[in-house]
Amino acid sequence: MIAMKKSEKKSAKRLSTKPQEAKAWGGRFSQKTDPEVEAFTASIPFDFRLLPYDIAGSLAHARMLARQGILTKTEGRLIEKGLKEIRTKWEQGKLHYTPADEDVHMLVEKRLRKKIGTAGGKLHTARSRNDQVALDLRLFLRDQVRALSRELKTLQENLLATAQKDGGAVLPGYTHLQRAQPVLLAHHLLAYLEMFCRDQVRLSEAWRRINRLPLGSAALAGTTFPIDRRGVAEDLGFDGLAANSMDAVSDRDFVLDCLSAGSILMMHFSRLAEDLILWSSSEFDFIAIDDAFCTGSSIMPQKKNPDVAELVRGKTGRVYGHLMGVLTLMKGLPMTYNRDLQEDKEAVFDALDTIRQSTRLLARMMPRIRFKADRMKEATTAGYLLATDLADYLTTKGLDFRTAHRVVGELVARAIENGKELEALPLSFLREIHPSFGPDVSRWLNLEASLARRNSPGGTAPGRVRKALHAMEKKICRTDYPF
């Protein structure tokens, strides 16, 4: 350990006994915050992003305080003018911070006090940073979820347009990534549209739970001042109030709602991306993705890589990580507010940025994918995709389905031995396997007929798919979302 000089000891003593006047909470303290602690605890580098929401909440709070006579009308007007000037400076990129500002709330308050004097210190009457940050985050997420829903709708509209334009193409449907049965491309794309409709519902449900006002809960127990919480809620467009002051300042369920809905949405994106990656490969060759959404290789000149789709797939794990991080953050917190909650901001900011960027890029990429209908249809001619149709045929001849399944399985095995597809087998060959096969079996070994027979609700028959596309237009145009 390096020994301190006498002069250094005197200097350190003066430093430790000087009152901390720069901190809004410094009256209790006799020592300055350690610089490394100050940097470690500061949230201003990331929650600076919340400034317009902090200003919006402060404006509503100030108006309420003036209405209630807690502030004079003159003080209220002075505070409102000062807050708007700070917001303008932020919008112009002229507002800067240092770690000593701690967080966005202290930054605004310090700038306001510097601008209008002691009246600025009255703004914090009847509130705490605990209910203030909960408000800011709810306001932020409300805007983010609304914007994400609109961006997702654009993706839905573009995907629907693709299904309507190219959806008549036929391709193999897969199970276990093995060719299974023929389906219409529109039917395949409609599956993703159904997923995205559920995502829209989840976003709307998350938005409803976000839209409760926490302000007025103060630190945890409410306030002694005669505030008007409902007036503030109406001013800020909230549907109602957070009912319990302790819950209001410590609740982050609304953050988890957003991250959970966003994670499920990204999972759906990842599945779509996986299909696009596979379909763009030489092995499938079902699609060509526009060059603007692909990149090349630094060593192999011929390569065209579906990097956007791959990164959407990869970033899904990143969003999952943020959900698990906040769940873990919350699991051991005692009532009520704890500084741990500061850690939710970077997670939710990055997650929402990632989800929204993925949504926008997929929405732009889908109309610029060329579907190779001939190649898709060619792929349906191999792999015995009509085997189930043959089993269904045999049931119309009186066989139970299990017997029919076994018979067709034997038939497929024999066809593989002979290197032929089912459609190429002569009737005599079929009858060697089972005498129930008759001349009418040819109608069951036809691709278009196979599709048309899948006419059960939700099936891939062309008529059913046309109705599903029409119904999807109405689903996408829903107007009962709360945004």
Q: Among all residues, which ones are annotated catalytic?
A: 176, 297
The amino acid at residue 358 is S
Work out the angle between the directed axes of helices 129-166 and 51-67 (0-180°, nearest 10).
Answer: 130
Matching residue, tokens 């770690």 = 99
Residue 315 gets which letter from DSSP?
A: H
Interatomic CA distance for residues 29 and 16, integer angstroms = 10
Interatomic CA distance for residues 408 and 35, integer angstroms = 77
The amino acid at residue 406 is R
The amino acid at residue 69 is G
Return the SS3 of 179: strand
The amino acid at residue 439 is P
Minimal CA–CA distance to 265: which of 341, 360, 330? 360
The amino acid at residue 367 is P
Angle at 330 between CA 25 and CA 482, to 5 degrees: 95
The amino acid at residue 114 is K
Matching residue, tokens 């696009």 = 276
Instruction: Identify the burial level of 226 via C-beta atoms within 10 angstroms of its C-beta, where 0-12 means exposed, 13-18 middle and 19 or more buried.
Output: exposed
Count CB neighbours of 281 within 10 A. Answer: 12
Interatomic CA distance for residues 195 and 189, integer angstroms = 10
Count CB neighbours of 195 within 10 A. Answer: 16
Name beta bridge partners: 173.
181
Q: Which two tokens stand for residue 239?
A: 């549907």
- Most distant pair of Cα atoms in the chain: their distance: 110
Positive or negative: CA dihedral 268, 269, 272, 277: negative
Interatomic CA distance for residues 294 and 364, integer angstroms = 13
Q: Which residues contact 40 (CB under 8 A, 6 or more apart)?
A: none
Which H/E stretch holds residue 139?
Answer: helix 129-166
Alpha helix stretches (DSSP H) within 213-299: 229-236, 245-250, 253-280
Positive or negative: CA dihedral 132, 230, 250, 266: negative
Residue 371 gets which letter from DSSP?
A: E
Q: Which two tokens stand for residue 129?
A: 């940073």
Q: Which two tokens stand for residue 142?
A: 């409300």
* Residue 336 preceded by cis peptide, ω within 30: yes
